[in-house]
Structure 1
Amino acid sequence: MSSNDYPLTTFLADHSIRPIFRLPVFEDWLFWLADRTGIQALFKCAPAHYSYSPGTIRRCTRHGIHFELDISTYHGWMIYYRRSGNRRVSDLVNRGDTVMDVGANIGEVTLLCAQKTGPDGLVIAFEPNPATFAQLSKMLALNPGLNCVLVNQALGSMTGPVTMVQPDNRNPGTCTIASSTTPGKALSANIPLTTLDQYIEEHPISRLNLIKLDVEGYELNVLQGAEKTISRYRPVLVIELVDSHQKRHGHSAADIVKFVLQHDYRVTDFSGQTPFGIHDHFEDCSLDITCVPNECVSR
């Protein structure tokens, strides 16, 4: 059912009503009502993240993971108000797996995957933004016992220092490596950049089951620097595919699909239900894709 099927939800979502939910008593009531009724669409009534003052902190537990969130930021708000769909990535993970989270942000996917892989598995998380990496480290400290390695580096197709920019100051997840067409304020000119192949050469692993890749348009560069890794381990790839982000770096979403297909993968939408081919159109697309080695696809 949509929120329009619930008159109360429609009323509460009115823009003139929503500001009251910034008050703690009404915020608590909204969570109580959603839990009592099971209507998760009620969280559409919550004020937008940008309506909160910077540094508005909430502590919560989601799917057994403890978080300390700044809900004035987009991703913190999404986790707190149960709007994030990132749990589905961990549904692809099994106990004992090794996972790489490239573009880990504050660690939602990292921690959910580590929860699934268990003590015999490993999650290696890459987050280059120093401020976001500090938040990622804090989240891991709130969840002792999870087997994670956190890496404060960017990945690409070469090595050396790079400059990063953040187009949206209320969304650290938009942080990306600077290009001539990337908007935003520069964060640092000395972010270390390496390739995934180089990282694994320096930090050997016995297996790699899944790579989640969300780096705001730099995905093709990361894949180009991971060709040996992909050929050796044949991991499942979950990739954010946003054509406008790719164009900032001189690529297109179609270039990513072509690269993965050429490495003998089956490419589908995230659900795995809709296959994509080299002749499909990806102009202006914004979606997540799942890429499974053809030798692992059930026939």
Structure 2
Amino acid sequence: MKTVHKIALARAAYKVVHRARAAMGLSDSCIVIRDGVKYELDLSQGIDFAIFLGNLFEPGTRNALRKLVKPSALVLDIGANIGVHSLLLAQLVGPSGRVLCFEPTDFAFAKLSRNLELNPDLAGRVTPFHCFLAEKDDAEVPETIYSSWPLSPQNGLHAKHLGQAMPTNIARARSIDGVLAALANPAVQLIKMDVDGFETEVLRGCSALLRNSRPTFLMELSPYVLDERGSSLEELLSYFAPNGYRFYHERNERLLSSSPEDLRQLVGDGASINVIARADS
């Protein structure tokens, strides 16, 4: 299902919930516990609303992470947003594991920080970075990046995925290789990546990681947002193929074609799928 259709369904459900809560004197703000994690939510936001409805945000990704993440591992959450997957990853790696999470927008990073604050036992396993991952540490940071999916109609939303671009006033650019070098180059077991078209920016800055650790990736694949960023599916694949990676469907782990043309037909314009990129042994 295209994101625009998911948002349309969420907007309809939000209207019902919003009116019911208002009738009881309740606002859109609330704190809930889902799967042992506490969240502060704004129900007018798509991600928050999905959590409120029963942890319905990207259930396929959550299931895949439960299968893929190893206890005590070092894992990366690139495009952490409000921390839904970061906190799950903290549960999965356990007390001796580590999660590095990266979020460039001021809006989402503030929500991520608050959710970490609400879960002190898990927060001790998480290191948040308010940065934009790029090829070099001195790279230019985009002024805004999509990180909000409002459930009330607004001007200036993305025409296809209905996201709202949010400022990156404080974030600076970092490269993954640079971040890991500062930590004495630990081995990375898995990377969850969802950066709305900036994937190749991220990959340009992790050549050493791809060569040495060869971690498993769980990532969004959306050709149209790559094209919007001046990149391409071909460029994305060029970072994985030379390092022995193959793509698998997130849900059933079926091997996918490595042909850009085949993948475009599989995904379709205005849509995305989540894939596992795994290096051959």
Give the structure-2-normalised TM-score. Answer: 0.78
Taking only aligned residues, the RMSD between alpha carbons, in angstroms, comes to 2.9
Matches within 5 A, 1:1-299: 19=16, 22-24=19-21, 56-82=28-54, 83-84=56-57, 85=59, 86-91=61-66, 92-146=68-122, 147-160=125-138, 161-166=140-145, 170-171=149-150, 187-188=167-168, 191-271=171-251, 272-278=253-259, 280-283=261-264, 284=269, 286-295=272-281
Change (3 A) 1:167 1:25: closer
Give the Å deviation of 1:159: 2.5
Alpha-carbon deviations, 1:216-246, whole Å to 9, x = none?
1000110111110111111101111111110
Aligned partner letter, 1:230 = L
Matched-pair contact (CA < 8 Å) for 2:194–2:219:
yes
Structure 1 stretches of 4+ with a deviation exceeding 3 A read: 15-18, 24-27, 166-172, 183-186
User: Which of these two proteins has the greater Rg computed from alpha carbons?
Assistant: 1
- How much does 1:56 deviate? 1.7
Aligned-partner Cα distance in 2 for 1:165–1:291: 28
Paired with 1:17 and 1:153, the residues of 2 have a C-alpha distance of: 31
For 1:22, give the aligned amino acid. R
Q: Is the 8 A contact 1:59 1:66 kept in 2?
A: yes
Mapped to 2, the partners of 1:24 and 1:245 lie a distance apart of: 36
2-side partners of 1:109 and 1:141: how far apart?
Answer: 15
Q: Could you tell which deviates more after superposition, 83-92 or 228-237? A: 83-92
Aligned partners of 1:229 and 1:185: how far apart in 2? 29
Number of corresponding residues:
246
Structure 2 distance, partners of 1:257, 1:17, is 38
Unmatched segments (≥5 aa) in structure 1 = 1-12, 28-51, 173-182
The normalised TM-score by structure 1 is 0.74
Contact between 1:154 and 1:194, CA under 8 Å: does it hold in 2?
yes
Larger relative contact order, structure 1 or 2 (CA cutoff 8 Å, min sep 6): 2
Q: Aligned partners of 1:243, 1:216: CA distance in 2, in Å?
A: 10
SS of the residue aligned with 1:114? helix
